[in-house]
Amino acid sequence: MSASSGVATVGNSDCVVVRFSTADYAPHERLDACREIYGRTLSKRDIEPLSAERFHTEATLRRMPGLGIVTARRSAAIYRLPGNSSTATMLS
């Protein structure tokens, strides 16, 4: 796994770590990669950046039985669960 993006199993396979970084993509591919890989596949959210310029996301997701933890640094954006429920919107 590269330092920025990839998947790894830790220890006895009960913990899976997924890393995603837009730094692994060309500038013109970053928003689409983030929307598809991080947004739709990993976090199940639609991503609407407040500015497409200098857009970036770095996230580490840890999944264990009964627990999921996400740590991330990213540009300002609106993250919505599909269906656009006002209770399912997160501003970051």
DSSP-based three-state secondary structure for 2 = coil
And the tokens for 32?
A: 């689409």
CA atoms of 1 and 58, how far apart (whole Å): 15
**Strand (E) or helix (H) holding 33:** helix 30-33
Q: What percent of the chain stands above pLDDT 70?
A: 77
Q: What pLDDT is stored for residue 11 in this prediction?
A: 61
- pLDDT (tens digit, 9 = 90+) per residue, 17-42? 888 999 999 988 999 999 988 888 87
- pTM for this prediction: 0.71
Please compute the mean of the pLDDT values over residues 70-92 and round it to a whole number: 73
